[in-house]
Chain A
Amino acid sequence: MRSPRDFPWRTWASQVRTIVGIEARAALGGRSLVLLLLASLPVLLLGARALFGHGRTPAQIPEDEVIFAVLYRTLVLRLVVFFGCVVVFTRLFRGEVLDKSLHYYFLAPVRRGVLVTGKYLSGLLTALVLFVPVTAVSWLLLYVPLGAHELVTRVTSGQGIRHLLAYCTVTALACIGYGAVFTLSGAALRNPIVPAVGILVWESLNALLPPLLKKISVIYYLESLCPVPLPIERIAILATPSSPAVAVPGILALAAALLVATSYVVRRMEILYGTE
């Protein structure tokens, strides 16, 4: 049996870097406008509120936190990040099949598992670069109506910066988890939009699902990590939130398992553009 030292890690790392570079160039064309429009939604919404919502007081901060908690879970997580990941990650393989250019990777001296890793990391980089700043800017815009002094206090205070980091971390984990889901569906299925809609419905119904079923989702673990609880929990079926010690490794393990499955699918993939 080969030990890890026997594997050409340096070659694989170099190939992953090259694939990320090639993919980054491709990501700048085509659908980047759709992504930018999607990503700008929460910024535009909270930007409008910042422009016209003067007169907020520090006493209203708990109310603002709940507003952001609702907005973050519905608009940012379920719409922007979810559909952003659909666009970014399904095109990694499916887009190249439709462009009839996937075979160039298959004709290079690259293991299919390395190809999957490189493509996934390139997608993840795109998603993180887009959606983590969107999360941070949206959160900052929430406190603009309080005035510059309160905004600086909020950002530099212990609780404020903890909330900001928590939301950014949840966004990053959402990109990691949903990214892996849609990388697999883009590689395995001819029409990855159908499962994407199915997953969206499942994730959206999560609040109404029994506790056991809640746990078979990504959103349950993401919401467990959000710093401010939702008022909707009064009408939802309650389940104990997952602890960060379970939620974070859980999402990472799920992503790893899905990438292993994607590697298996891509290893067995054939180039049959004519039938697409």
Chain B
Amino acid sequence: MSPGIVLEGVSKFYGEVLGINRVNLAIEPGITSLVGPNGSGKTTLMNVVTGLLRPTRGSVRVLGIPTDRPEELFRHVGYSTQFDGFPRGATGLSFVESFLRLHGHDAKRAREMALHAIGRVGLHEAARRRIAGYSKGMRQRIKIAQAIAHEPKVLVLDEPLNGLDPMARSETIALLEQMTAAGATVILSSHILHEVDLVSDRVVLFHHGYVVAEGDIQGVRGEMDEHPMQILIRCESPALLASKVFELDSVVEVTLNTDNRGLLLRTRDAEKFYALLSRLVLELDLGLELVTPADDDVASVYRYLIGGGGSTS
């Protein structure tokens, strides 16, 4: 499948301040999350991808279209930004509808599409109210409605879950999953890492304007040799298992749980460990209940690569 978005050697400087530097990415259909601390370059990348910023160096193409051709680009791209401004006097409906008119839809069709999009983000009842009176979460949702109203193939969302209550969050996540199931390419940034984990097919980790890792999160975690993989095992005979796992040189540490019902081990080669465990399960009566990686989530990868406590903000 051809990549939806291709960045080649893209840098963006604000005067002497670095936004992003030498970014090479090919983003495919599915959900790609941008993760990194504030000021790491996530929003800059999104603005460059949507033509709101011109790259200082390098080239960007979205579905093969250069970003300096808005008349072609935005037939296929929707972007919900972090900016909190809205056209003066606009209601939710007029806001979404007027931009659909710019797409060339007649008044009736634009109204239908706007109401459909507003319904998808759960704002139907507030559609005719002025945006100036909306709560933060409602403003966030009306921006998403505007971004999805024309059924874009590429959707870019900057912190889309910000300000949303838990119900609206799960509805938004379901909406993104529907769109990607239909073949859309979605890029989103979020500082809620466990939600990034839930929704993302791939992650791109940013730090100081550089891409420090990209790919599916397990793949990225697997390549981090300097941080042995942690695996949590719940079983009836953890001490017996612990005595056996040191057959492997790659196992560097084992910690028995205080309840004597499990252990946490660290290994440099998870594949070898899983093979050994399969053999031990057949040979010994371990009473195995659970085997699960303990640090192949976004938060752990983020902590190892960037530092901090697994929060991006």
Please report A residues at the B interface, Cβ cutoff 8 Å.
11, 14-15, 18-19, 21-22, 25-26, 28-30, 99-101, 103-104, 106-112, 114, 267-268, 270-273, 275
| Contact of B103 with A109 in the complex, beta carbons under 8 Å | yes
Across-interface contacts of B306 in A (CB, < 8 A): none
Stretch at the interface among B44-52, B210-218, B243-251: B44-52
- A110 and B84: CB pair below 8 A? no
Select A271's contact among B53, B75, B102, beta carbons within 8 Å: B53
In-complex Cβ contact of B52 among A107, A108, A267, A268 (8 A):
A107
Known: A25-B94, A26-B88, A271-B53. A108 touches B103 (CB 8 A): yes
Q: How far is the CA of A104 from the CA of B68 in the complex (A)?
A: 15
Report which residue of B50, B75, B78, B103 has the largest number of chain A beta carbons within 10 angstroms of its beta carbon.
B103
Report if B129 contacts A (CB, 8 A).
no
| A-B pair number, CB within 8 angstroms | 91
B75 touches A109 (CB 8 A): yes
Q: Which residues of B contact A30 (CB under 8 A)?
A: 88
Would you call A109 and B54 a contact (CB within 8 A)?
A: no
Closest B residue, CB atoms, query A102: B85
Cβ distance A41 to chain B, nearest Cβ, rounded Å: 25
> In the complex the two chains form, is B79's CB within 8 Å of A270's CB?
no
The proximity string for B residues 258-280 relative to A, scoring 1 for CB distances below 8 Å and 0 otherwise, is: 00000000000000000000000
Would you call B53 and A109 a contact (CB within 8 A)?
no
Q: A15-B102, A103-B83, A271-B47 are in contact. Are A111 and B70 (CB under 8 A)?
A: yes
Query: Assuming the A-B contacts A14-B104, A270-B54, are A99 and B85 also in contact, with contact meaning beta carbons closer than 8 angstroms in the complex?
Result: yes
In-complex Cβ contact of A101 among B51, B68, B87 (8 A): B87
Nearest B residue to A109 via CB reads B74
Q: What is the predominant secondary structure among interface residues of chain B facing chain A?
A: loop
In the bound complex, CA of A29 to CA of B132 (Å): 13
Give the residue of A21, A101, A108, A275 whose beta carbon is less than 8 angstroms from that of B86: A101
- A17, closest chain B residue (CB): B101
Does the CB pair B51–A106 fall under 8 Å? yes
Q: Is the CB of A26 within 8 A of B87?
A: yes
B117 located at the interface, meaning its Cβ lies under 8 Å from any Cβ of chain A in the complex: no
Please state if A104 and B70 are interface contacts (CB–CB under 8 Å).
Answer: no
Beta-carbon contact of A29 and B89 below 8 Å = yes
Residue of B nearest to A105 (CB): B102
Shortest distance in angstroms between A104's beta carbon and chain B's nearest beta carbon? Answer: 6
Q: Which residues of B contact A (CB under 8 A)?
A: 14, 47, 50-54, 68, 70-75, 77-79, 81, 83-90, 94, 98-99, 101-104, 146
**A175 CA to B103 CA, complexed, in Å:** 30
Distance (whole angstroms) from the CB of A30 to the closest CB of chain B: 6
Q: Given A109-B75, A110-B71, do A104 and B52 touch, yes or no (CB 8 Å)?
A: no
Do A104 and B87 touch (CB < 8 A)?
yes
Specify which of B51, B70, B83 is in contact with A100 (CB 8 Å cutoff): B83
Chain B residues within 8 Å of A18, by CB: 98, 101-102
CA distance A30 to B90 in the complex (A): 13
Chain A residues with CB under 8 A of B89: 25-26, 28-29
Q: Is the CB of B83 within 8 A of A19?
A: no
- The answer for the CA separation of A271 and B86 in the assembled complex, in Å, is 14
Contact A109–B71 (Cβ < 8 Å) = yes
Starting from the known contacts A22-B98, A25-B90, A271-B83, 4 additional A-B residue pairs (CB-CB under 8 Å) come to: A14-B101, A26-B87, A26-B89, A272-B53
Contact status A103-B87, CB under 8 Å: no
Residues of B within 8 A of A271 (CB): 47, 52-53, 83
Q: How far is the CB of A243 from chain B (nearest CB, A)?
A: 41
B185 CB to nearest chain A CB (Å): 16
Bound Cα distance from A22 to B91, whole angstroms? 12
Chain A neighbourhood of B104, CB < 8 A: 11, 14-15, 109
Residue among B72, B101, B102 with the highest chain A CB neighbour number at 10 A: B102
Given the complex of chains A and B, what is the CA–CA distance between A271 and B68 in angstroms? Answer: 13
Interchain residue pairs with CB less than 8 A apart (15): A25-B89, A25-B90, A26-B88, A103-B83, A104-B99, A107-B52, A108-B74, A109-B71, A109-B103, A109-B104, A270-B52, A270-B53, A271-B53, A271-B83, A275-B14
Residue of A nearest to B110 (CB): A18
A residues near B72, Cβ cutoff 8 Å: 109
Which residues of B are found within 8 Å of A110, using beta-carbon distances? 70-71, 74, 102
Q: Which residues of A contact B102 (CB under 8 A)?
A: 15, 18-19, 108-110
Q: Are A29 and B88 in contact (CB under 8 A)?
A: yes
Q: Which of A101, A107, A108, A270 counts the most chain B CB atoms within 10 A?
A: A107
B162 CB to nearest chain A CB (Å): 16
Chain B neighbourhood of A100, CB < 8 A: 83-85
A103 to B81, Cβ gap below 8 A? yes
